[in-house]
Amino acid sequence: MEASSANERLHFGKMGYGCQHYRRRCKIRAPCCNEVFWCRHCHNEASSMLKNPMDRHEIVRQDVKQVICSVCDTEQPVALLCSNCGVNMGEYFCAICMFFDDDTEKEHFHCHDCGICRVGGRDNFFHCKKCGSCYAIALRDNHLCVENSMRHHCPICYEYLFDSLKDTTVMKCGHTMHCECYDEMIKRNKYCCPICSKSVIDMSRTWKRIDEEIEATVMPEDYRHKKVWILCNDCNDTTEVYFHIIGQKCSHCKSYNTRTIAPPILPH
């Protein structure tokens, strides 16, 4: 009976406390401003709304030293168990990140190379040292590495990707962005990486359609033999091609994802 009672106390309130970001049985005292929040994301969101930009700041997760038990309101040094009532303040606890979460279905794990906790199960991810982040196992030896590709802001919403709570995707070019931002970009018929301008999907059918349009659109005699220098965004090749109002085709990879770097010399 005593063991059962102790176990009940340990798990008392599980999933009953927390914020929109995490379910947990404690709040944190922000070491930077001494205010109390459910988590660092709650703090950072509140801080970002301050009128004076000079007052805006973010928590360094490893600097959190004090937590407040949500069950008994006892403030204490960071630890898994409440020193007063004995409840487990988080079914998952990382003493490196000072992180608590009751929702174990997220399958948290701490990546020592990233230096932070991830979700999704350790066996389902690997750390790419060149890209500087954890990726799904399916991408092992199956993605183009870009140095520190995750340590920048999403080119669409500008949220920092490395520790974002949203799912991210790796594009063909190796650059990364939020999955929802990528989907929205494709819905808007934008098929180039916002960072490097390379095509992010198979465009062969589109290139064929442009071939047909060009074949059906005869240029005026004065322009028919004019040439321009182009740079291909897909293969980075520079070539001289015949100018056409619909588009310029790369002679190397046959892409129309090109830009003119020297305009045609027009007749007087």
Are residues 92 and 122 both part of a single domain? no
In this structure, which long-range contacts are made by residues 196-204, counting pairs with CB atoms below 8 Å and at least 24 apart in sequence? 196/233, 197/233, 197/257, 198/171, 198/172, 198/173, 198/233, 198/234, 198/257, 199/172, 199/233, 199/234, 199/255, 199/257, 200/171, 200/172, 200/173, 201/172, 203/255, 203/256, 203/257
AA identity, residue 218: V
Number of domains in the chain: 3
Q: Are residues 93 and 24 in the same domain?
A: yes
DSSP state of 218: P
Q: Residue 241 sits in which domain range?
A: 216-262
Same domain, 6 and 101: yes
pLDDT reported for residue 1: 44
pLDDT at residue 87 tops 60: yes
pLDDT at 223: 84
Provide the whole-model pTM. Answer: 0.78
pLDDT for 224 equals: 84
Q: What confidence tens digit (pLDDT) does each residue in 28-78 have?
A: 999 999 999 999 999 999 999 999 988 899 999 999 999 999 999 999 999
CATH of the domain at 229: 2.20.28.10
List pLDDT tens digits, range 141-173.
Answer: 999 999 999 999 999 999 999 988 888 999 999
